[in-house]
């Protein structure tokens, strides 16, 4: 049947023989796409009297929304915290390479750096749609330098900053611009952090709590002022204590403002978080869990010495340390690996594992009306996966941008 061209001349593609993740469950339905958007077939049939121009047999694949990585420091030899002459080529390389791991949108992340790095790098990061060239860029994640010296982790101590009398102006002076910034990680126990959180939130920037020695009441106050995220839960914060659970206590706090959800990032690589801790967090607050890779330049490369901003790091298998120490420093895990490990470690459903890398990060950033979902009229950014959650193909705006080489399957 020819499609009705009165509404649009764009071809309609019907993906058949698949299970679609929609409304929190896998449903045996077809997926319809036109002009980069998910199409409602009922409207097509009854309002437009149309049908598909192209039918694609998905061979019983799972179709899920594309993964969104809100904390990735680099990969494939590229470090987002280094101000190089070819920075744009580097970000293009990473955005292209992560397509094979199911990532269709991401937030390039800068660790604590000197002001000169922010001033050189941030103007070179621009929010853009994904496509054959690579995953879309949602804006930068600035992790530091307004963090705790005690919980600095792999961040260079000489670059750490506190808020002085200027507070928000101090932050602006360090970063130089907030035009492309999506997330800022800071330590909420710092003096004047509340006014900074309010100012950032006013500008639509997500504030995340991390690299911190905050107690629970300080963390709750930060949330009351607008913070909505926790950077890599359990890592670089006070350990859970039954009399003062610290930032971890936000997962079950009764002081969260009505209608607000606190999200938390987890590095599900089997290294940064013990599977038991992953299970505790997931069972305590399943709808807030956001999988992040925290991947750095060494992701996708051989073991050895690489960089993370101002630091030299060593990779040994999946372990990454500041050179000469046992301090963990980012990961080399890919997002699809994190999804599979999360599902295996927690025993959660396939739907839950996939939503932790798609729907939840989209909700965190307030873009769930167009990303992280396969609802009608949302962006047609999606993956085909097999039963074991290995990515077979990646689509952005309805176009295939990566496919597993059949010979390599």
323 is in an annotated binding site: no
Cα-flanking dihedrals φ and ψ of residue 80, to 5°?
A: -65, -15
160 is in an annotated binding site: no
129 is in an annotated binding site: no
> 67 with 101: CB under 8 angstroms?
yes
Q: From CA 32, how far away is CA 35, in angstroms rounded? A: 11
25 is in an annotated binding site: no
> 206 with 183: CB under 8 angstroms?
yes
277 is in an annotated binding site: no
Q: Is 306 helix (H, G, I), strand (E, B) or coil?
A: strand
Q: From CA 193, how far away is CA 86, in angstroms rounded? A: 35
Cα-flanking dihedrals φ and ψ of residue 26, to 5°?
A: -80, 125
Go through 213-251 and write b for each residue having 16 or more CB atoms within 10 A of its CB, e for each that does not.
bbbbebbbbbbebbbbbbbbbbbbbbeeeeeebbbbbbb
Q: What is the DSSP letter of 212?
A: B
235 is in an annotated binding site: yes
> 320 with 296: CB under 8 angstroms?
yes
Cα-flanking dihedrals φ and ψ of residue 173, to 5°?
A: -65, -40
274 is in an annotated binding site: no
272 is in an annotated binding site: yes
83 is in an annotated binding site: no
10 is in an annotated binding site: no
306 is in an annotated binding site: no
Give strand pairing partners of 305.
314
Q: From CA 174, how far away is CA 199, in angstroms rounded? A: 15
Catalytic-labelled residue, pool 294, 336, 379, 381 = 294
79 belongs to the catalytic site: no
* Binding site residue list for Zn(2+): 143, 211, 232
* Binding site residue list for substrate: 154, 235-236, 243, 272, 328-330
Positions marked catalytic: 294
* Binding site residue list: 143, 154, 211, 232, 235-236, 243, 272, 328-330
């Amino acid at each position: 049947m020819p499609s009705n061209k009165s509404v649009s001349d764009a071809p309609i593609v019907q993906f058949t023989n698949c299970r679609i993740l929609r409304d929190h469950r896998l449903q045996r339905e077809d997926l319809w796409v036109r002009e980069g958007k998910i199409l409602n077939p009922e409207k097509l049939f009854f309002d437009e009297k149309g049908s598909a121009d192209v039918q694609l047999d998905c061979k019983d694949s799972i179709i899920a929304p594309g993964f969104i990585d809100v904390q990735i420091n680099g990969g494939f030899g590229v470090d987002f915290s280094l101000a190089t002459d070819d920075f744009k080529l580097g970000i293009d390389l990473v955005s292209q390479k992560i397509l094979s791991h199911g990532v269709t949108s991401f937030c390039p992340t800068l660790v604590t750096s000197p002001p000169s790095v922010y001033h050189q790098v941030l103007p070179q990061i621009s929010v853009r749609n994904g496509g054959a060239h690579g995953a879309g860029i949602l804006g930068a994640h600035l992790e530091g330098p307004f963090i705790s010296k005690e919980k600095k982790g792999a961040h260079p101590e000489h670059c750490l900053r506190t808020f002085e009398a200027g507070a928000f102006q101090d932050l602006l002076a360090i970063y130089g611009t907030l035009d492309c910034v999506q997330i800022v990680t800071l330590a909420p126990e710092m003096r004047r952090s509340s006014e900074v959180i309010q100012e950032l939130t006013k500008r639509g920037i997500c504030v995340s709590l991390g690299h911190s020695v905050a107690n629970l009441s300080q963390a709750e106050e930060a949330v009351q002022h607008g913070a909505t995220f926790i950077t890599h839960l359990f890592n670089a914060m006070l350990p859970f204590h039954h009399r003062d659970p610290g930032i971890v206590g936000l997962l079950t706090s009764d002081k969260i403002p009505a209608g607000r959800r606190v999200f938390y990032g987890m590095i599900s690589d089997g290294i940064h978080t013990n599977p038991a801790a992953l299970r505790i967090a997931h069972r305590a607050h399943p709808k807030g869990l956001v999988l992040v890779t925290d991947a750095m330049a060494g992701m996708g490369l051989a073991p050895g010495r690489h960089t993370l901003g101002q630091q030299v790091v060593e990779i040994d298998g999946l372990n990454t340390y500041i050179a000469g120490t046992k301090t963990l420093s980012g990961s080399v895990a890919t997002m699809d690996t994190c999804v599979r490990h999360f599902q295996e470690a927690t025993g959660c459903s396939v739907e839950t594992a996939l939503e932790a890398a798609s729907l939840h990060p989209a909700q965190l950033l307030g873009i769930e009306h167009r990303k992280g979902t396969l609802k009608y009229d949302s962006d047609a950014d999606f993956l085909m996966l097999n039963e074991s959650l290995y990515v077979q193909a990646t689509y952005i705006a309805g176009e295939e941008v990566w496919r597993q080489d059949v010979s390599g399957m």
